[in-house]
């Protein structure tokens, strides 16, 4: 049964915009249809409706709709989302052809109004066009924040924050606590301390802005679906909303940068955080691309957003799956059944001659497999079965194309080491310190496992966890916990 809505857009704004937009698009389409047009053999796909293309087949969770459609149309499929041609690839072989064999040609990212506004006109790394600027900024972040040596040096921050979390769960003595929120706050504290030098006081607002921006950046905003229409872009409610969000974001990021400017030179060289580094090298004339305030804001917000939601979502889903599968709880291994970034968004690079969308077709990618029906990567893919990885060395760092939690190729996630460290320690501590179980009378089947729409697939319904009731038996357990035993922690879902 599908719990998520069939139609992806906010209906009121859609209807308000659709009437003038439709008239405009019909005229445009009519003009276009009069031009001669070159025919290319396209991948299979469902029947297209005028104007909206295949939007009627999309739910609020596009990755689920894509999977469903791929079962009928095969591992390479062409959809038209509004006026945007979208090729959906769901087989390891074709993913390899694109992400490895033809890496630079498909190392672009799709454009979106949310990213344009919230990430300073694509000056960030995640959504920057594949360019020398992107390479420069990515290199700085790897050297100064997410490289293996630097990540190791953040060990004390991680330990400190995770022991704070465990302590707060112990101290909550019988009152319900929301573990999802606690985990989100843990990961954002670690990321802030690593990137900004301290926990930012506006962290919660930053998190809210990020969640909303991620939701709006998934490509289903009406302005993204009809990019050629100036009317839609100008009248878009989303644009106004994003501009308001951006003003709030500016206030927070300006404050972070100004505070760092005031303290610049006070800290020891080599003991700098990412913002200090950017402020120092900003003056460096050897940089190929000069860095201004907007570049710094775009990249530090990028690090906060990319670093926070992915890791906390992984922990959240893992804990929920473990609650539903007591058998697996005993054998805990973090299988990434719910990849926090469920779709790897790539765009062919328009700025290079002949690298438009039809490059995919001209280069023969997917030709052999184009008509194969629904290739299954894992058996029972919806089941939480970590054992499936026990007897096979599955590479999760971009070499095995049936399993790409961090992507692959030149745009692969640079924050993998940081992300893994931020997932492993809290998970290990949560599982070591407490015996989690559902409260008496609550069945595992009632837990809602639906995802939120957006760039990251967070869990839609968050939940509260009940630590032990303070009675004598639990007192004893708490006492024995100090000696290395586990306490009992109950779990409850807020429906």
494 class by beta-carbon count within 10 Å (0-12 exposed, 13-18 middle, 19+ buried)? exposed
Tell me whether residue 169 or residue 416 sits nearer to ligand HEM (CB atom).
Answer: 416
Residue 248 phi, psi (nearest 5): -65, -45
Q: At closest approach, how far in Å is the CB of 482 from ligand HEM?
A: 32
**Exactly one of 62, 74, 219, 415 binds ligand HEM (CB under 6 A); which one?**
415
Question: What is the footprint of ligand HEM within residues 121-160 (CB under 6 A)?
Answer: 125-126, 138, 146
Among the listed residues 457, 440, 438, 441, the one whose alpha carbon sits nearest the alpha carbon of residue 449: 457
Minimum CB distance to ligand HEM, residue 344 (Å): 5
Q: How far is the CB of 310 from ligand HEM (least distance, A)?
A: 3
DSSP symbols for 91-109: -HHHHHIIIIITGGGG-B-
Q: How far is the CB of 120 from ligand HEM (least distance, A)?
A: 15
Q: Which is nearer to ligand HEM, 179 or 341 (CB)?
A: 341
- Residue found by looking up tokens 């949560």 in the block: 430
Cα 71 from chain centre: 24
Contacts with ligand HEM in 299-318 (CB under 6 A)?
A: 302-303, 306-307, 310-311, 314
Residue nearer to ligand HEM on the CB measure, 129 or 374: 129
Whether residue 93 contacts residue 370, with contact meaning beta carbons closer than 8 Å, is answered with no
- The single residue among 8, 197, 419, 468 that binds ligand HEM, judged by CB under 6 A, is 419
- Piece of the chain touching ligand HEM by CB under 6 A; list 45-53, 62-70, 355-363, 418-426: 418-426
Q: Which residues of 330-368 are buried (b: 16+ CB within 10 A; e: fewer)?
A: eeeebbbbbbbbbebbbbbbeeeeebebebbbebebbee
**DSSP for 264-306, written as a single string:** TTTSPTT---HHHHHHHHHT-TT-SS---HHHHHHHHHHHHHH
Q: Which of 66, 119, 226, 418 binds ligand HEM (CB under 6 A)?
A: 418
Q: Which of 408, 433, 452, 458 binds ligand HEM (CB under 6 A)?
A: 408
Assess 423 for contact with ligand HEM (CB under 6 A).
yes
DSSP state of 242: H
Considering only residues 43, 340, 453, 454, which one is a binding residue for ligand HEM as defined by CB under 6 A?
340
- Helix then strand then coil, % of the chain, to nearest 5: 50, 5, 40
Q: CB nearer to ligand HEM: give 160 or 475.
A: 160
Give, to the nearest 10 degrees, the angle between helix 293-324 and helix 179-196: 150
Q: Which of residues 145 and 177 has its CB atom nearest to ligand HEM in the complex? A: 145
The separation between CA 480 and the C-alpha centre of its own chain, rounded to angstroms, equals 40
> Which span sits near ligand HEM by CB under 6 A: 70-78, 164-172, 366-374, 414-422?
414-422
Residues lying near ligand HEM in the complex (CB under 6 A): 125-126, 138, 146, 302-303, 306-307, 310-311, 314, 340-341, 344, 405-409, 411-415, 418-419, 423
């Amino acid at each position: 049964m599908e719990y998520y809505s069939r139609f992806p857009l906010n209906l009121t704004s859609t209807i308000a915009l659709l009437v003038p937009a439709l008239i405009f698009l019909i005229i445009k389409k009519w003009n276009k249809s009069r031009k001669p047009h070159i025919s290319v053999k396209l991948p299979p796909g469902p029947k297209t409706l005028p104007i909206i293309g295949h939007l009627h087949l999309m739910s609020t969770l596009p990755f689920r709709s894509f999977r469903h459609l791929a079962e009928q149309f095969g591992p390479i499929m062409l959809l038209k989302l509004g006026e945007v041609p979208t090729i959906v690839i769901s087989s390891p072989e074709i993913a390899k052809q694109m992400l490895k064999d033809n890496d630079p040609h498909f190392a672009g990212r799709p454009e979106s109004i949310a990213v344009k506004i919230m990430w300073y006109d694509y000056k960030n790394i995640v959504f920057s066009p594949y360019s020398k600027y992107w390479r420069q900024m990515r290199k700085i972040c790897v050297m100064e924040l997410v490289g293996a040596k630097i990540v190791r040096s953040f060990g004390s921050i991680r330990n400190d924050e995770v022991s704070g979390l465990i302590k707060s769960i112990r101290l909550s003595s019988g009152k319900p606590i929301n573990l999802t929120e606690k985990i989100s706050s843990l990961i954002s504290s670690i990321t802030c301390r690593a990137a900004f030098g301290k926990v930012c006081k506006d962290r919660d607002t930053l998190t809210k802005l990020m969640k909303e921006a991620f939701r709006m950046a998934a490509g289903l905003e009406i302005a993204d679906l009809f990019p050629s229409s100036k009317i839609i872009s100008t009248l878009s409610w989303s644009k106004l909303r994003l501009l308001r969000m951006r003003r709030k974001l500016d206030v927070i990021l300006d404050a972070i940068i100004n505070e760092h400017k005031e303290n610049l030179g006070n800290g020891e060289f080599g003991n700098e955080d990412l913002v200090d580094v950017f402020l120092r090298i900003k003056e460096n004339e050897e940089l190929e691309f000069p860095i201004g305030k907007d570049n710094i804001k775009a990249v530090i917000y990028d690090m906060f957003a990319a670093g926070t939601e992915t890791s906390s979502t992984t922990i959240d889903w893992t804990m929920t799956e473990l609650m539903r599968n007591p058998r697996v709880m005993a054998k805990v291994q973090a299988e990434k059944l719910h990849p926090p970034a469920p779709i790897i968004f790539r765009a062919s690079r328009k700025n290079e001659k002949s690298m438009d969308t039809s490059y995919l077709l001209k280069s023969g990618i997917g030709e052999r497999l184009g008509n194969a029906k629904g290739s299954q990567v894992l058996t029972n893919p919806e089941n939480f079965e970590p054992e499936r990885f026990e007897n096979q060395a599955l590479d999760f760092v971009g070499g095995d194309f049936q399993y790409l939690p961090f992507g692959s190729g030149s745009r692969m996630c640079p924050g993998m080491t940081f992300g893994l460290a931020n997932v492993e320690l809290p998970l290990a501590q949560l599982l070591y310190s407490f015996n989690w179980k559902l409260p008496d009378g609550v069945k595992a089947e009632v837990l809602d496992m639906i995802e939120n729409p957006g760039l990251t697939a967070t869990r839609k319904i968050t939940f509260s966890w009940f630590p032990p009731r303070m009675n004598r038996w639990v007192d004893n357990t708490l006492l024995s916990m100090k000696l290395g035993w586990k306490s009992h922690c109950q779990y409850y879902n807020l429906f």
